[in-house]
Amino acid sequence: MNEKGGTIQTAVIEHSQAGFAKLEALRQQLQVEPGECIVGMETAHSLLIDHLWASGYEAIYVLPRVLFLPWSLHQLTSLFVVQ
Q: Tell me if 64 is assigned to some domain.
A: yes
Quote the pTM value: 0.62
pLDDT reported for residue 62? 74
CA dist., res. 42 & res. 5, Å (int): 19
Q: Tell me if 2 is assigned to some domain.
A: no
25 pLDDT above the threshold of 90: yes
Average pLDDT of the segment spanning 6-20? 83
CA dist., res. 31 & res. 8, Å (int): 12
Q: Tell me how many degrees the CA angle 54-21-76 measures, rounded to the nearest 5.
A: 90
Q: Tell me if 62 is assigned to some domain.
A: yes
Around Cβ 62, how many Cβ atoms within 10 Å?
Answer: 17
Q: Tell me if 21 is assigned to some domain.
A: yes
Q: Tell me if 42 is assigned to some domain.
A: yes
Number of domains in the chain: 1
pLDDT reported for residue 70? 54
22 pLDDT above the threshold of 80: yes
Q: Tell me if 52 is assigned to some domain.
A: yes
| pLDDT tens track for 26-66 | 989 989 899 888 777 766 656 888 888 899 988 777 776 65
- Quote the domain boundaries for residue 73: 9-82
Q: Tell me if 44 is assigned to some domain.
A: yes
pLDDT reported for residue 83? 38
Q: Tell me if 3 is assigned to some domain.
A: no
Coil, strand or helix at 40 = strand
Nearest CA among 61, 2, 57 for reference residue 27: 57
